[in-house]
A and B are shown apart, each in its own frame.
Chain A
Amino acid sequence: MQAMRLFSPLLILLITTVITLGIAQPATAEQVYIGLRNGPSEAFPVIYEVTPYRRLDVVARRGSWVKATDGRNSGWLHVDDLHLLETFPRDELWKLVNDARPGKHRLELTLSTASAYSVGWLFPVLGEYGSVRYTRAPEGDSAWSLLDAGVITQFAQPADYLTFSWNAFAGYAQSERGNTHWSDTAESTWVGGVGVEAMWRVARYFEVGARGEVGTTLDSDMTTHRSASLVWRLRL
């Protein structure tokens, strides 16, 4: 019994020491390196590594990537990684990150089943998007063109990269070579319409999608055309 009293603290001390030695890891200092790539994409290989305390200057920006140099070597890194450089000035960092954000204006190109293509400009107005488009169907004798203005309103965004919107437009359609696409009398006429679109943001500045539209002449004939379009949209 006495022996137990004597050995108990020693036994506890022994067990505690063993557990401590088993759990404790040797302290090691891990050096962090920041990789500079050969080009402005993660697909390009890392060609140069620097520590966070290396002084680098940014000499160029392409999209959300910047080209940094220490005077001898240079490489590309994403603006979101610039904060890892401890010596990089915070005001310059803020400016670069801000400049790399896409703006609110959009440039749009479409190809439609109505044998037409269109070029458009989208701009923010009253919390929605306004649009100005020029559409042209260049096909031989049935060529026509349409200049319209409209509004685009987003009604759903199931994911960050996916949006659904509807649009309404009104414009002036011009018949070329006397075609009767919009008017039986082959005259120029006013046109109005509505549509719905789904856009997928495939890159930081680029969206692709599809749009369905119904357009009708704003005259007594009410000539109507339906079309589906592929849409490419650049975020400027």
Chain B
Amino acid sequence: MNSFTRVVGLAGMTLWSFTAAAEVFSPGNQRNGLDDLGDTEVEHGIFSVGYANTLAYNNDSQPGILFTARYFAGEKWYLLGEAQLGQFSTRAVINDGQEVRSDDEELLRYSAGAGYALLQGTASTSGVRAVPWVLAAELNAGEQHSGDTSGRYASLGMNVQFHGERIWTGIGVREFLVDDERLQSLESDGGTQWDISLGLYY
């Protein structure tokens, strides 16, 4: 009887010690409350779509559509990614009986670069609502395909931007160069482009 009591007692103590141990080594999760904080809306950059007009040397003015992504990299710097689709030529060029430019060539350009805000200020017409504006210099480099040929593309330009509450507006002008041998032979390897775009923050 005594040994049975001892066994039961020891078993009870063992079980109790497990329970006690479980209590010691199973602490509840500590919470600092940070998970409960709502995430603040973050503006990483701007997606914009716009109309672009390209005037290459020895070529007619050609329309296009311009897609741009800007990513804020600091107070004044932002990164750029661009894609432009449009017409390149609507007038054929024949050289020594050979067509070197057809009358229905299309243009595809994609490039990346950076912009730097040279001037920043406030624009207001009413004195009640004020819109921040930015004058930025933009440098782009990439590739341009026109017709059956392609070449490296580089541009330097200025962009005036109005950072509205929800809508972003940008108006840009740039000089560009393309090192496409066919366009070089046509003396059409550069020119001027302007664009107007509307964008949303993302």
Q: Do A and B bind each other?
A: yes
The contact of A60 among B41, B71, B76, B181, by CB within 8 Å, is B41
CB-based nearest B residue for A116:
B152
A96 CA to B75 CA, complexed, in Å: 17
B117 within 8 A of A: yes
A residues near B120, Cβ cutoff 8 Å: 39, 41, 43-44
The reply on B73 being an interface residue by CB < 8 A is: yes
A157: Cβ under 8 A from any B Cβ: no
A95→B40 CA distance, assembly (Å): 10
| B121 sits at the interface (CB 8 A) | yes
Interface of B is mostly: strand
- B34 contacts partner chain A, Cβ-Cβ < 8 Å: yes
In chain A, positions 77-115 with a C-beta closer than 8 Å to chain B are 91-92, 94-96, 99, 109, 111, 115
Q: What is the number of residues of chain B that contact chain A, defined by CB distance less than 8 Å?
A: 36
Distance in Å: Cβ of B186 to nearest Cβ of chain A: 15
Known: A47-B122, A203-B77, A232-B114. A91 touches B40 (CB 8 A): no
Tell me, yes or no, whether B179 is within 8 Å of chain A by CB. Answer: yes
- B163 adjacent to chain A (CB < 8 Å): yes
Chain B residues, Cβ within 8 Å of A65: 75
**When chains A and B are docked, how far (Å) is the Cα of A205 from the Cα of B114?**
13
CA distance A81 to B6 in the complex (A): 69
Bound-complex Cα distance A139 to B41 (A)? 43
Binary CB contact string for chain B from 90 to 126 against chain A (1 if under 8 A, 0 otherwise):
0000000000000000000000101001011110000
| B72 and A62 within 8 A (CB) | yes
> Which of chain A's residues have a CB closer than 8 A to the CB of B163?
39
By beta carbon, the residue of chain B nearest A75 is B130
Whether A109 and B76, one on each chain, are in contact in the complex, defined by CB atoms closer than 8 angstroms, is no
The answer to whether A138 and B150 touch across the interface, beta carbons within 8 angstroms, is: yes
- Least Cβ distance of A126 to chain B in Å? 27
Q: Are A139 and B151 in contact (CB under 8 A)?
A: yes
Residues of chain A having any CB pair with chain B under 8 Å: 38-45, 47, 58-63, 65-66, 91-92, 94-96, 99, 109, 111, 115, 117, 119, 138-140, 202-206, 232, 234
Closest 9 CB pairs of A and B: A203-B74, A39-B132, A206-B73, A43-B120, A41-B75, A62-B43, A203-B77, A206-B77, A205-B73
